[in-house]
Structure 1
């Protein structure tokens, strides 16, 4: 599709509106600092660290994206295995501390969830925040998505566009039976794996191990092993792609988005027999995967970093039908030769986001700069493979930018992955 097509031009209009600005980054840093202040008042959490994860760390959040925070309980240098009842007790203490602080509202304790967590809405921009205990696995998943993010610049754009589209169609809310944001990101990875030619490899080629079971022992050693393995494999993939440059996929954003909706337009029918396996990068028959049997879910999107966990486990049959209808309708509108920007905008973005944003200038935050935060006590910054191993990033046409090999494509990675350590109570 031409770069001057109505769809391509509409996407270029939407992206600056949904990309986080420098202020959006600053607000989230302030919320992290706020939680840190509350945690350090809790006696049972003396010495704990407050660490962000999720889309904020992977740099796959929109301006209105939620914030995920893990409170890490230190047990020397080793990775802690905290029992569920202990997590519930710690979170109850944090809940009380946050109530006393008074900077958030709608506090809710989901004590019986698979991973217990607190949910709150912060007074700053009404950002929703989930807080859990010792969620190192969630942190590592976020870093892996960040490194995947650096392979091709189109990936992040499509993820942001798909997330906003899903919000506009009310199919991005796991508690009501539709898709969570992590699952949506995985669907985009799968789309990039199954494009012709493929843009991303099967994830077993980036990290062949079982992440969930390999996070044990000394934390720094485990993280270093995972980071080093991914760095070597990503470099190998990029080198191989460079040697086969004629086979690169140079699809425009509009081509990729239209084919994304086409690929999943029959997902309600296909899900009856097949699930999505990103580890192998292909559809897989449910009957041939013993971990998926007996078939108890409407849709299977296996977590490639925590198999056989199903990231679409909350999707109901009714919502699966609604999702497929939305995929089909959106594909038809985007693929039509008789579309205009008003129709496209109404299809791809929530209308209440358009008017307030277009009244004031919006800065693209691909490089949010060095925000001078209030007073985060930074003890350690986790290097990304793209920094420590010089993984090059790619531009929107898929070409490698060797001139910027030392710099990651995304905003300052250390900003998103710094650790806030609680000060000892005095």
Structure 2
């Protein structure tokens, strides 16, 4: 249908933070000779609407269902006939920011295995506490991953992860040709040596929950590109409607912009505080995952 286009895997498929039952996220990249890629929502909606109509007319033994979801980043949700019936694909159009951030997270995951492992635990925990559903006004998985990354960069002592965007500005600039974004490559120079953080995944999870149970979401924003928090009063006034601000590493927009209602914000805070008390306040022996509704 779009002969000049390409499909690029993004999200948990490549960033190392997925599990065996994760969806496959694909970006349909349609180049434009003048502007590179049209990244506006209206263009993506037009392309994906056309694809959905065409796919539904196919008498295909491959594609089973096509669902068009008009989210902030529109997607087609695809399911398949056997032998691919356990696979689900979320297809977006020209969301090139997702390609750059997947590339960045891929390299963070390669530095320390505890990062993707902690992301999986946190996503599972968030699902159990019903705070991992952007359509319902809580977190998307990407925001949770950035919260883990911020914690391992800026809160864990010594840090578990460095600031790759500061160390390798050309590699992780967000403007490189997407066809040249290689995976599983060695970085151009060795990472700086620091005293190792030898905390276990369990210890890091407890500290993560404790940190965000006490976090001042109303006044502080999170930045992984700068490896810090900063005052929300530095942001434009129209961002105050967002209850939580997590800065996207490349475009600076808020990845948690779905969290706008007081009810959902309170649910998120309660999940952290309840889990913190379950971990730290119980007299029933050492902390364990079942107390915070996580089964592994």
Name the TM-score class by shorter chain.
0.7 to 0.9
Q: Which of the numbers 205, 223, 226 marks the counterpart of 1:277?
A: 223
1:327–1:249: structure 2 CA closer, same or farther, 3 Å change rule?
same
The equivalent of 1:164 in structure 2 is 124
Larger deviation, residues 200-209 vs 256-265: 200-209
Q: Does 1:118 align with 2:76?
A: yes
**Higher helix share goes to which structure?**
1
Cα drift, residue 322 of structure 1: 1.2
Q: Distance in 1 between matches of 2:279 and 2:239?
A: 37
Aligned pairs (5 A) from 1:39-188? 42=1, 45-74=2-31, 79-81=36-38, 84-99=41-56, 100=58, 101=60, 103-104=62-63, 107-111=66-70, 113-122=71-80, 124=84, 127-188=87-148
Q: Does 1:317 align with 2:274?
A: no
Residues 123-167 of structure 1: CA deviation (Å, up to 9, x unaligned): 545544321112332112111100011111111110111111111
The equivalent of 1:334 in structure 2 is 279
TM-score by length of 1: 0.60
CA contact (8 A) 2:26 2:91 kept: yes
Gaps of 5+ in 1: 1-41, 355-426
Q: Distance in 1 between matches of 2:224 and 2:286?
A: 35
CA contact (8 A) 2:279 2:291 kept: no
Q: Which of the numbers 162, 168, 172 marks the counterpart of 1:201?
A: 162
Aligned pairs (5 A) from 1:349-364? 349=294
CA contact (8 A) 2:278 2:291 kept: no
**Displaced runs of 4+ in structure 1, greater than 6 A?**
none
1:91 match: secondary structure: helix
1:339–1:317: structure 2 CA closer, same or farther, 3 Å change rule?
farther
Q: Distance in 2 between matches of 1:104 and 1:349?
A: 34
Cα drift, residue 56 of structure 1: 0.7
The equivalent of 1:305 in structure 2 is 250
1:89 match: secondary structure: helix
CA contact (8 A) 1:79 1:219 kept: no
Residues 327-353 of structure 1: CA deviation (Å, up to 9, x unaligned): 122222233452479x73363436xxx
1:149–1:321: structure 2 CA closer, same or farther, 3 Å change rule?
same
Cα drift, residue 122 of structure 1: 4.2
- Larger C-alpha radius of gyration, 1 or 2? 1
Gaps of 5+ in 2: none
Structure with more contact order per residue of length (Cα contacts < 8 Å, sep ≥ 6): 1
TM-score by length of 2: 0.84
Aligned pairs (5 A) from 1:354-393? none
